[in-house]
Structure 1
Amino acid sequence: MSWSYSIGKIGGTVLRVHVTFVLLIIWITASAWAAEGPQAALINMLFILSVFACVVLHEFGHATMAARFGVRTPDITLLPIGGLARLERIPENPKQEILIAVAGPAVNVVIFLILTIFLGGSGWLSDLQSLDNPGQSFWGRLALVNALLVAFNLIPAFPMDGGRVFRAVLALFMDRVKATQVAARTGQVIAVLFAYWGLTSGNPILVLIAAFIFFAAGAESSDAAMRGLAHRSAARDAVITSFVSLAPDDTLDTAAQAILHSSQSEFPVLTPDGQFVGFVTRESVLARPDPEFRQRPVSEIMFDNVPVVSLKTGMDDVLDAFAKGRIPAVAVIGKTGNFVGFINRENIGEWFILARGS
């Protein structure tokens, strides 16, 4: 996700913080300082950080359960509206998806029990209007927030946790793509209700959450439809076979000329005998416009750790390859191991539009 920065790595999962989350911390701290002084500002800042620590644990609950089914979580991003765990893929087994979805709220239940039973924290619904009041019990406020996280996440608004459970249950009785479409529409209806509630109550956070749910539901529905088509398609259906290539010892000046005379964003690098060794991207060349770079070989800046598939490889495997990491494209080889073309993200989108219409 753009505008997010890594702050560490836990068990193979990169923890990222979106810049707007940092701005939220600054705003809350400054507001509390101006209203009640430095002590209140410190308490409120620690409280917000504690809340998002609980959110991180919630997301790692999803990641840990997903790992049990062989699904990696490349990164978790902290946003002002919560956390976002990016799974490589969503298991198509509905029972596995249900377990992954409920694992996050289950973590908040455990935190709530620890705070109330062992730390004596107690909160009441009447305290919701003053959660930012440092005079209230710190543990009580944190326990109440975890209870709210459980209740909020189990609302059947896809793609929230409750919505994913709803989609998985539907998938037990109907096609997965159809189940996703039903769950997405339900989520968008709930999002509209959230937006109305936020506008009439003057709560901008609800409006922000509603917008996130609405657009995320649409994106998830499109992704499920793409996955449905991918099951019936192979790499040969989307491969780009007309392209300009480069040699490993070509200079960046040669690559710059290729950029000027073509519309490609990725250039395969091939040995004299046609063997694929990597990709050079338009961005990597344009990032080095100074004369001292012009005579450097493209092999110095090429991406050489990219997936290679055959023409018969299923498109679902191609989609998985893009989900696993930040790669410019996937190389496609023929029966004899010769390079025949590549697939990039733009071409996947074009393939999806045309395949859906046929």
Structure 2
Amino acid sequence: MLGGNLKLTTVFGIEIKVNVSWVFIAALLSWALAKGYFPVLHEGLQQIDYWSMSIIAVLGLFASILLHELAHSIVARAFGLEIKSITLWLLGGMAEMRDEPPTPKAEFLMAIAGPAASISLAGLFYLTGVALGSGGSAALIGLVASYLAKLNLVLAIFNLAPAFPLDGGRVARAAIWSATGNYQRATDIASIMGSIFGLGLIALGLISLLTGMGLSSLWLVILGLFIRFAADASRAQAQAKHTLAGERVSDIMTANPICVSPDIPVAHLIEHYMYKYPFEFFPVVDNGQLVGSVSLHEVKRVPPGERGAIPVHQITRPLTDDHTIGIDASAAQALAQMQATGQSLLMVTRGQAIVGVIAMRDILRLVTLKTTLANS
């Protein structure tokens, strides 16, 4: 993922985020539409009209991708899967799903929901374009609607390509999973299909670039690189989960971690904890109850001259579900949570008390060790 993500709003309890790459794609697409596409379709307008149409079209694309991802998420929730957030980025969108689909049927229905939404939107925009295409200022909105109809149709068709992690690849995984009864094998095959598809897009983009098709060919290369990377990452993630089967968080965690009191001064934290222990952060515990954590990131915000007077509780990072996991959870669940939230460490809890800490490196070390021994 490029850059950082910004939270926009919450829909149906799902956080809607936008990656900063959307600023780039929005500006580039608006410019291309205002300078090239709409002037060809309708000559003689002022630049402000072309730019207005382009901005509306970009916002329409944004909304279309969001509705595409919401369709996936609503079906996923119907099968009891937790969808925490949706992130819209440079080339589309991605829903953050903590667990895998429970059955091939669930996988199929979740996958097909996105293209179905895009096809429905294409039809709606097409009818709007026809209705407004009689002339006058309404016809300009009709041109935008017709453009969005084509774009949603292309989005649906492209996503139906049998290449994981595209929706068509997930449909393929559901079919293979149903036929073989083996989720791991289905994921492997669908991921290989996605990797090959990504290589094909890269090759097509490079050939188009070398034969004078213009810099737009680079989009095929970028898209191919993303699909290949995502397919390979999905396959590795599935293999890791398979390897971790039966392993519990309690088996891997570091028990009884060093904790700090919220009442000690920041200077005491630095002198007696940060200088002494090579840990990335320290859990903050008040009367046996975990209340948050503190790290160098929070400490360095306190001016050196004030560190002796400011207590730790004033800079403590509040406790969230992203930073904790229950002791009864599986190691695979811990890995999935870390990958979804970007955390490299999780605090392991029993009720309101902390009982350990689990790190990404510890999980990956176990995966590597078990894989090596299994192949020896």
What TM-score do the two structures reach when normalised by structure 2? 0.80
Match of 1:139 among 145, 162, 166: 145
Pick from 104, 107, 112 the counterpart of residue 97 of structure 1: 107
Instruction: Indicate yes or no: 2:61 matched with 1:51.
Output: yes
Amino acid at match of 2:188: Q
**Distance 1:341-1:245 versus aligned 2 partners, 3 A rule:** same
Residue of structure 2 equivalent to 1:175? 182
Indicate if the aligned counterparts of 2:111 and 2:168 stay in contact, CA closer than 8 A: yes
Deviations 1:104-150 (A, max 9, x none): 1110111122233454289xxxxxxxxxxx89933222211111111
Out of 232, 237, 249, the residue aligned to residue 223 of structure 1 is: 237
Q: In the TM superposition, what are the counterparts of 1:23-34 in structure 2 within 5 Å?
A: 23-30=24-31
SS at match of 1:92: coil
Task: Call closer, same or farther: CA 1:254–1:94 in 2, change over 3 Å.
Answer: farther
Residue 331 (str. 1) matches residue 332 (str. 2): no
**1:113 is matched with which residue?**
123
Identity %: 26
> Is 1:189 paired with 2:196?
yes
Distance 2:226 2:268 in 1: 43
Residue 316 of structure 1: how far off its partner (Å) = 3.5
> 1 CA distance for matches of 2:128 and 2:105?
33
CA offset digits 1:41-73 (Å, max 9, x no partner): 222222222122111110111111111112232
Superimposed CA distance per residue, residues 179-231 of structure 1 (whole angstroms, 9 cap, x where no aligned partner): 21221111111100001111222311111111111111121112212222333
Q: For residues 11 and 299 of structure 2, what CA distance do their matches in structure 1 show?
A: 33
CA RMSD, Structure 1 to Structure 2 (Å): 3.0
In the alignment, structure 1 residue 286 sits paired with structure 2 residue 303: no
- Counterpart residue number, 1:62: 72
In structure 2, the residue matched to 1:14 is 15
Q: 1:305-324 counterparts in 2 under 5 A?
A: 305-306=320-321, 307=324, 309-310=326-327, 313-319=329-335, 322=338
Question: How big is the shift at 1:162?
Answer: 0.8
Cα separation, 2, equivalents of 1:219 and 1:326: 15
Task: Pick closer, same or farther for the CA change 1:255–1:225 going to 2, 3 Å.
Answer: farther
Following superposition, the deviation at residue 297 of structure 1 comes to: 2.4
Deviations 1:288-338 (A, max 9, x none): 35432443222331443454533x54224434655776765132559xx97
1:236 corresponds to: 250
Count of matched residue pairs: 343
1:296 matched to 2:331? The reply is no
Aligned partners of 1:174, 1:182: CA distance in 2, in Å? 13
For residues 23 and 313 of structure 1, the distance between their equivalents in structure 2, rounded to whole angstroms, comes to 40
Which residue of 2 is the match for residue 166 of structure 1? 172
Matched, 1:149 2:155: yes
Cα distance change on mapping 1:212 and 1:29 into 2, 3 Å: same
- Comparing 138-147 with 193-202, greater Cα deviation is found at 138-147
Structure 1 residue 93 displacement after superposition:
1.4
Preserved contact between residue 121 and residue 143 of structure 1 (Cα < 8 Å)? no
Give me the whole-angstrom Cα distance separating, in 2, the residues matched to 1:237 and 1:341. Answer: 11
Deviation track 1:60-95 (CA, whole Å, cap 9, x = no partner) reads 111111111122322222222112222222213121
In structure 2, stretches of 5+ residues that fail to align are 40-46, 133-139, 210-216
Q: Give the gaps of 5 or more residues in structure 1.
A: 123-133
Q: Distance in 2 between matches of 1:291 and 1:346?
A: 36
The answer as to whether partners of 1:252 and 1:296 remain within 8 angstroms in 2 is yes
Q: Is the 8 A contact 1:318 1:330 kept in 2?
A: no
Q: Confirm whether residue 260 of structure 1 aligns to residue 275 of structure 2.
A: yes
Distance 2:157 2:265 in 1: 58
Q: More displaced, 339-348 or 15-24?
A: 339-348
Matched with 1:353 is: 368
Deviation at 1:277, TM superposition (A): 4.4
SS in 2 for 1:74: strand
Note if 1:79 corresponds to 2:89. yes
Partners of 2:199 and 2:231 lie apart in 1 by: 12
The 2-side partners of 1:3 and 1:349 are apart by: 25
Provide the rounded CA distance (Å) in 2 between the counterparts of 1:66 and 1:261: 46
- Amino acid aligned to 1:343: I
Q: Which amino acid aligns with 1:39?
A: D
C-alpha distance in structure 2 between counterparts of 1:192 and 1:323, whole Å: 25
Stretch moving more, 255-264 or 14-23: 255-264
CA distance in 2, matches of 1:326, 1:195: 28
The alignment partner of 1:120 has SS state of helix
TM-score calculated relative to the size of structure 1: 0.84
